[in-house]
Amino acid sequence: MWSRVGFATFDSGPTEFEVVTRRLFGTLCGLVFLVNFGRVAFPPLVETLQTQFSVGPATIGVVTSLVWLGTAIPRIPVGYLLTRVSRSKVVLGSGTLLVVAAAFTASATSVLTLQIGAFGLGLASGAYFVSATPLVGELYPERVGRMVGIHGAASQVAAVVAAPVVVFILASYSWRETFWVLAAAGALVTLLLYAVSRDGSAGAGTGADRDFSAALGHWKLILTGILLIAPAGFVWQGLFNFLVSYMTQAKAFDAATASTMLTIVFAAGVPAFSLSGRLADNLPHVPYIFGLLVAFIGALVALTYAQGFVAVAAVVAVLGYVIHSLFPALDTFMLSSLPSDARGSAYAVFSGAALLLEANGSGAVGFLTEANYAFEAVFRTLAGGLAVFVSALAVLYAVNRLPGVDRVDLSSD
Torsion-angle region of 308 (φ positive above 0: left; ψ -120 to 50: alpha; else: beta): left
| pLDDT at residue 359 in the model | 77
pLDDT of residue 122: 93
Kindly state the average pLDDT of the residues 398-409: 76
Could you state, in order of their start, the residue ranges of all structural domains in the chain?
16-410
pLDDT in tens, 323-354: 999 998 998 888 888 877 777 778 888 888 88
Average the pLDDT over 174-201 and give the result: 86
Cβ-contact 138, 347 below 8 angstroms: no
- What pLDDT is recorded for position 408? 54
Mean pLDDT of the chain: 84
* Distances, alpha carbon 173 to alpha carbons 223, 256, 257, 373, in Å: 46, 17, 21, 34
Q: What is the pLDDT of residues 20-57, one digit of tens each?
A: 677 788 888 999 999 999 988 988 888 888 888 888 87
Taken as a whole, the chain contains a residue count of 413
Residue 56 — φ and ψ, nearest 5°? -95, 180
pLDDT of residue 72: 80
pLDDT digits (tens, 9 = 90+) for 125-150: 989 988 887 777 777 766 666 777 78
Q: If you average pLDDT over residues 387-411, what whole number do you get?
A: 82
At residue 8, φ and ψ (nearest 5 deg) are -80, 155
- Give me the sign of the Cα torsion angle 72, 69, 257, 165: positive
Helix, strand, coil content of the chain in percent (nearest 5): 80, 0, 20
- pLDDT tens, position by position, 58-74: 788 888 888 888 888 88
Per residue in 222-267, pLDDT (tens digit) is 999 999 999 999 999 899 888 988 999 999 898 889 888 988 998 8
Nearest to 374 by CA among 251, 225, 226, 283: 251
What local confidence, expressed as pLDDT, does residue 219 receive?
85
Given a contact cutoff of 8 angstroms between Cβ atoms, the answer to whether 113 and 104 are in contact is: yes
**Which of the pair, 80 or 397, is modelled with greater confidence?**
397
Q: How high is the pLDDT of residue 388?
A: 97
Residue 256: what pLDDT? 83
Spatial distance between the Cα atoms of 144 and 133, rounded to a whole number of angstroms: 10
Dist. CA 355–CA 70, nearest whole Å = 9
What DSSP letter does each residue of 261-289 carry, written as one string?
Answer: HHHHHHHTHHHHHHHHHHHHHHS-HHHHH
Question: Residue 161 above 80 pLDDT?
Answer: yes
Q: What is the mean pLDDT of residues 194-214?
A: 60
What's the pLDDT score for residue 411? 45
Residues 16-410: name the CATH superfamily: MFS general substrate transporter like domains (1.20.1250.20)
Q: Distance between CA 118 and CA 102 in Å, rounded? A: 8
CA 208 to chain centre: 25
Rounded mean pLDDT, 288-306: 96
Q: What's the confidence (pLDDT) of residue 8?
A: 43
Residue 11 has pLDDT above 60, yes or no: no
The pTM score is: 0.75
Residue 83 has pLDDT above 90, yes or no: no
